[in-house]
Structure 1
């Protein structure tokens, strides 16, 4: 989500009102380009995220589900200087896409150390730089002289603002001062003059300014009449006033059907959505883009790679099994060569023989059998018998390996589905623990600081009964094999990864069973389909094969219902 400098001025006010004077209690490095600050204020606790990766942003976030357990060396270094500090000011530099967050820390000797955090949201040149006494303490991204001749960034290097910060902020001037700036510093056409004088004008706000002033941005500024310049200065002041009073951000579809964002109302385009805060809009954009590699996203990546690896192994086994189609042909070749063992074929590359073993009785049909010229006919026959035996053994072991690979693929995909349902740290830890037991990831040497509960599953009441839904395989295992009673009904989507759903009711009717089947379809990968097959049976019919993975079951009797997925109306998620 690319925001211009003027929109970020509204974000700066938003951050000031929320976290200025707050204390930084904890610092996390989520990934190589993202930091999370846990901030406590007298009113509330906030999570401030600074990311300078693919989607550079600075915003207040909802609490993240899963944070790194082990801090990086950079994180440990920054914690020493940052944690416990109080935020004294949050400023935008000259209306540009640069924020300066000043923090003070009371040292053990009673002195106060001031650190300035410069957040530069400049596209691919974005960075987060920590500065003390004008010298860079550390930064998320180091820039060497070989990478940039204009500006180096790294520890113990004096901090300099990026180029092009000589322009001014629209918000700092009155209408008469804006008029003087336009008359004095205009250069080129109207559009270029505005951008050369003022920082922060993106396309949407610049187009809105020109629309209100009824000007063509491509017209040379010198061709404007004094009245037109006066109107332009007035409109600039109007926009400045609206930005100072703005809260949140609006999302529009412009004439090219592209999404644009603005903190003030636009004269053109279709309003699609309004966000109460800019942070909320940024957070949604970052989440949809997957721009921050949180620990749960890293876990998702690991599971996805495990699935790809197993799919490659599965296809290789299948290919080897396909080769066993030649098994019977090799046996036939061996039999025919043995029958004609009296023939001299040494130094021949092939031999034509009548197919005496043809099932149709057509012995006149000739077969061309490839030979090894260095072997006699008996030795060639024995070579074909060896190939036959090898393929026969491969077929037996291959079928077993293929079944095992199919089960493992289904299991890995069920873990990936479980990850999409994880909404709490406990749920993610359950999945992580399961992945460790399955050998997908290495077991952590650091134990959990709390005990995982067995009651994290979804539970709600329905008229005449109760419904229990597992969020992951561990919960599915517990609900189906330990918690449920023999006469409880068990639901699961047919051949689709999903949750185990248990219905506990004394006399469930068809309508109740149908509704719970809809819930089972909703808590599955078939959620977005219109018709999903759901199997259901009594718990007493469910069996777990020995040594099978978590959540894997078999049953000897069941019924199937085709339903449309429906979210339970009894719960809020």
Structure 2
């Protein structure tokens, strides 16, 4: 989700409700492009975090402190000098721009009342924090932008501040139906793109939401929309804008596979397939969203080496499996050579010398058969040649069958490790997976004097009926759950024919209700390679019927009788326990 005008509008409302009228108590600049402002309000102190980072510009209320440099930067010192005890008198957003104005009153050295304006621009790589006087003259900015850096606008002390109009977009808060139609008619683009390229502060995902609410296809050309459809589209557009004007914000984060996919200040109707988590504060949404995204990104980065090891060995094993399968196909005709040898021994006594073939009755099929012969060999030597060929291919078949099974087991094991990496959420998860790969010989062990003890627990859920459900995060945990933790009467679940976690339901000696079986099945579906599918087949059985063959790889089990169910992988309504 872009940090668009809608999000800025929600932030503005929250800040107006919480810090408007408050006095600036502390100003810190933890990073070259960040501010952390502490504000005293009647309800207590609030901290406002502002980042003009090119990669992640943000503004929200926070409870966290960040360490600041021993010597404050010049921009921070300037703010402290002028507005160190100033009062915030207004917080505004021009149109639906990604800009916030903070109007501040303060007393100068002579005790006269003065006014300043702090401007926060959240515009991707062009984000900035600009400090102006009451006549919009720039006093300083956290980033200086010279004419050499931008031909559109200089951001330097002494220059006059203005909002650059580089896109010539319309203001969605004031646009009339006539101008709305003209803007879309002029765009030779798909309907969704025509909306977000025509109006300020509207992001692609918001445009998609408006079109979806209208019952139209976002990909159809805007120029093909009929007048009636445009009226209906404008009505939905107006409803959305009216919610913005009235401050009807309901912040929410949408999750896909427990990874935050989008956040929004006004819920999206076309995101019904994702798990939605509602919040009472847009600041909490922003903190949660970006913290979770950063965690997922960090784990992805830290798992890159392990993923490379797994993927490299998986590709090698798959190539080996294909080669072995082709070699095995070459042994499919081995039985005919045995038959050739037997028939030559049976009918070869009356063969002419130097005969090139033998035509006789095949008593296995009661049909005539022609057997090629080497005229330089006797019938007995020809028979021995075919028997030798049969025995060679038989030995090859037996050896390859065993090798193919080993290779298939290796592929299945590596796919299960790949699935474990997909669901890893912490460095402890990665550590246990690395230890597993080390024990299996895929990662070389580094000998150090300090022994690191891995402490990691399986995931824990509570069913709607109050039963504990445990999910293994990797093959080591799968083995521990199934063969050390579970009792014989507990129930064991696993996605059929797919890499995935072992799921254990503790029965406490009870007969489980159907709803608990379904919820355990959903967990087994979700924590498998088939997550996201509407129909996943799940095997389930009492744990006492699950066995582990001698010498089998971690996580590998066998069972010979089981029940099955087909279910989706939606676990949004299953309560997770934070152990």
Structure 2 length normalisation: TM-score?
Answer: 0.54
Match in the other structure for 1:274 = 264
Classify the secondary structure of the residue corresponding to 1:535.
strand
C-alpha offsets along residues 509-546 of structure 1, whole Å, 9 cap, x if unaligned? Answer: 24155245434444443443444443333333332111
Match in the other structure for 1:484 = 486
Structure 1 stretch displaced more, 399-408 or 438-447: 438-447
Aligned length: 422
- Counterpart CA distance in 1 for 2:353 and 2:338 is 21
- Counterpart CA distance in 2 for 1:162 and 1:442 is 55
1:415-430 counterparts in 2 under 5 A? 415-430=417-432
Match in the other structure for 1:432 = 434
Mapped pair 1:514 → 2:539: no
Mapped pair 1:167 → 2:152: yes
Do the aligned partners of residues 97 and 408 (structure 1) sit closer, same or farther apart at CA in structure 2, a change above 3 Å counting? same
- Counterpart CA distance in 2 for 1:94 and 1:491 is 48
Do the aligned partners of residues 8 and 484 (structure 1) sit closer, same or farther apart at CA in structure 2, a change above 3 Å counting? closer
Mapped pair 1:475 → 2:477: yes
Match in the other structure for 1:571 = 576
Mapped pair 1:257 → 2:228: no
Match in the other structure for 1:503 = 505
Of 166, 181, 190 in structure 2, the residue corresponding to residue 201 of structure 1 is 166
Do the aligned partners of residues 201 and 432 (structure 1) sit closer, same or farther apart at CA in structure 2, a change above 3 Å counting? farther
- Counterpart CA distance in 1 for 2:121 and 2:402 is 66
Match in the other structure for 1:400 = 402
Match in the other structure for 2:328 = 321
- Counterpart CA distance in 1 for 2:552 and 2:425 is 27
CA contact (8 A) 2:461 2:575 kept: no
Q: CA RMSD in A?
A: 6.0
- Counterpart CA distance in 2 for 1:549 and 1:431 is 14
- Counterpart CA distance in 1 for 2:156 and 2:173 is 14
Classify the secondary structure of the residue corresponding to 1:404.
helix
Structure 1 stretch displaced more, 386-395 or 510-519: 510-519
Q: How far is the alpha carbon of 1:459 from its aligned partner? A: 4.8
CA contact (8 A) 1:97 1:200 kept: no
Query: Which has the higher relative contact order, 1 or 2, with Cα contacts under 8 A spaced 6 or more apart?
Result: 1
CA contact (8 A) 2:494 2:503 kept: yes
CA contact (8 A) 1:169 1:199 kept: no
- Counterpart CA distance in 2 for 1:385 and 1:95 is 80
Mapped pair 1:536 → 2:540: yes
Q: How far is the alpha carbon of 1:209 from its aligned partner? A: 11
Q: How far is the alpha carbon of 1:466 from its aligned partner? A: 2.7
Do the aligned partners of residues 40 and 95 (structure 1) sit closer, same or farther apart at CA in structure 2, a change above 3 Å counting? closer
Q: How far is the alpha carbon of 1:550 from its aligned partner? A: 1.0
- Counterpart CA distance in 1 for 2:147 and 2:299 is 25
CA contact (8 A) 1:544 1:554 kept: yes
C-alpha offsets along residues 5-60 of structure 1, whole Å, 9 cap, x if unaligned? Answer: x99999xx99xx9x9835469xxxxxxxxxxx99999889999998xxxxx93356
Unaligned runs of 5+ in 1: 26-36, 51-55, 62-81, 102-115, 119-133, 135-159, 179-197, 218-238, 260-265
C-alpha offsets along residues 83-130 of structure 1, whole Å, 9 cap, x if unaligned? Answer: 9997766999998944689xxxxxxxxxxxxxx999xxxxxxxxxxxx
Do the aligned partners of residues 250 and 325 (structure 1) sit closer, same or farther apart at CA in structure 2, a change above 3 Å counting? closer
- Counterpart CA distance in 2 for 1:282 and 1:497 is 29
Structure 1 stretch displaced more, 352-361 or 472-481: 352-361
- Counterpart CA distance in 2 for 1:39 and 1:539 is 56
Mapped pair 1:359 → 2:364: yes
Q: How far is the alpha carbon of 1:392 from its aligned partner? A: 0.7
CA contact (8 A) 1:476 1:499 kept: yes
Q: How far is the alpha carbon of 1:172 from its aligned partner? A: 11
- Counterpart CA distance in 2 for 1:47 and 1:294 is 26
Structure 1 length normalisation: TM-score?
Answer: 0.55
Q: How far is the alpha carbon of 1:297 from its aligned partner? A: 4.6
C-alpha offsets along residues 329-388 of structure 1, whole Å, 9 cap, x if unaligned? Answer: 233344555664865449xxxx3321344423334x434x275x8877766654443332
- Counterpart CA distance in 1 for 2:316 and 2:47 is 46
- Counterpart CA distance in 2 for 1:437 and 1:509 is 39
CA contact (8 A) 1:427 1:456 kept: no
Of 393, 402, 409 in structure 2, the residue corresponding to residue 391 of structure 1 is 393
Classify the secondary structure of the residue corresponding to 1:555.
coil
- Counterpart CA distance in 1 for 2:352 and 2:438 is 63
- Counterpart CA distance in 2 for 1:378 and 1:316 is 35
